[in-house]
């Protein structure tokens, strides 16, 4: 009987209710975190994107409250483009989207760490990471080439 | 004979010359990188510290040209404290120093990635990383407790 009720497409069953409650609680928590975060004079906060499974640091970009809200709601990372002064839905044109795995934030609540799953390359030069230059053995080095 | 010459304290031998040349080239390269970096209106650049072997992101802080120069010269990370308006030699009082393993910088040359070897905890709360808070499963979570 339990199984039959759960499978009834017309029922507003426990699963649906729990899901709605969870979404609501999640949105409320997101707003509490947003209220606690310290955005700078331009209304922005720096966000580090790190590949969740390899630990590779992919890029550093900026978020507005609006872009963070959209990221949490959609599960796809949206930054604020300082050069364009507009929302920057990462990968919207390139397809190189970042799926948000987890949002973390620091002790001072003025920096974000986004654990993401990066499709393709994070960098506009078509490299996996934006941090492809290094000072190594006293010389400036390029650590990776653009991907095919 | 070669060994004797190399060990002669009075000789300006090949080893000494190479070492001096390397240091000089390294300092020159550092200055070239510094000149290429884009510091913001406050003369600062964000720097991500990442534990070099585990990939853990430890903190985000800020550097001035002077603090970066000192970091490269000493091999110990020195930030710029925005709250104190002064050089911040990480771990000077706590002993929780960061040895610089490698400096990396991004495509836009406006963000740094410091691969470091962190002694003890990076966070002033005595946690290994400053990014110990997360939004997980719709709730705000503390991911680690202060170390003993």
CA pair distance B111, B1, nearest whole angstrom: 50
pLDDT in tens, B82-98: 999 999 999 999 999 99
CB contact under 8 A, B133 and A105: yes
Q: Does the predicted TM-score (pTM) go above 0.90?
A: no
Q: To probe the interface with A, which of B130, B141, B146 has the most A CB atoms within 10 Å?
A: B130
What are A78-122's pLDDT values in tens digits? 999 999 999 999 999 999 999 999 999 999 999 999 999 999 999
Q: Does A139 touch chain B (CB under 8 A)?
A: yes
Helix, coil or strand: residue A83: coil
Q: Mutation test of the interface with chain A: which of B36, B83, B131, B142, choosing the one with the most A Cβ atoms within 10 A? A: B131
For position B11, what pLDDT does the model report? 42
Q: What is the pLDDT of residues A36-62, one digit of tens each?
A: 999 999 999 999 999 999 999 999 999
Task: State in words which class domain A39-119 has.
Answer: alpha beta
Instruction: Tell me whether residues B26 and A138 touch, CB distance under 8 A.
Output: yes
Residues 6 or more apart whose CB falls under 8 angstroms from that of A42 comprise: A82
Instruction: Give which of A124, A95, A29 is closest to A68, Cα–Cα.
Output: A29
**What pLDDT is stored for residue B23 in this prediction?**
75
Contact B133 A102 (CB under 8 A): no
A7-43 confidence digits (pLDDT tens): 333 444 444 555 667 677 788 999 999 999 999 999 9
Residue % of chain B over a pLDDT of 70: 86
- Which of A29, A35, A51, A75 to mutate against chain B (most B CBs within 10 Å)? A29
Q: Do B111 and A130 touch (CB under 8 A)?
A: yes
Chain A partners within 8 Å of B25 (Cβ): 138-139
Within 8 A by CB and 6+ apart from B105, the residues are A131, A133, A134, B33, B37, B111, B112, B113
In this complex, do A48 and B60 lie within 8 Å of one another by their Cβ atoms? yes
Please say if the pLDDT value at position B16 is more than 60.
no
Q: Is B117 on the interface with A (CB under 8 A)?
A: no
Cβ-proximal residues to A54 (8 Å cutoff; 6+ apart), any chain: B55
Question: What count of other Cβ atoms lies within 10 Å of the Cβ of residue B105?
Answer: 24
Per-residue pLDDT, A2? 36
Residue A33 contacts B, CB cutoff 8 Å = yes
Res. B20: pLDDT tops 70 = no
Predicted pLDDT of residue A4: 35
Predicted confidence at residue B106, as pLDDT, reads 98
- Least CB-CB distance to B48: which of A60, A104, A135? A60
């Amino acid at each position: 009987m339990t199984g039959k009720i759960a499978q009834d497409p017309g029922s507003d069953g426990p699963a649906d209710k729990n899901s709605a409650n969870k979404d609501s609680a999640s949105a409320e928590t997101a707003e509490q975190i947003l209220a606690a975060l310290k955005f700078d004079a331009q209304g922005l906060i720096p966000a580090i994107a790190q590949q969740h499974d390899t630990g590779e640091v992919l890029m550093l970009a900026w978020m507005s409250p609006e872009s963070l809200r959209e990221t949490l709601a959609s599960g796809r990372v949206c930054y604020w483009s300082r050069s364009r002064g507009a929302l920057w839905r990462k990968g919207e044109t390139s397809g190189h989207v970042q799926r948000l795995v987890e949002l973390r934030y620091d002790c001072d609540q003025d920096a974000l760490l986004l654990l993401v799953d990066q499709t393709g390359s994070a960098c506009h030069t078509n490299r996996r990471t934006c941090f492809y230059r290094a000072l190594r053995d006293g010389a400036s080095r390029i650590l990776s080439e653009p991907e095919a």
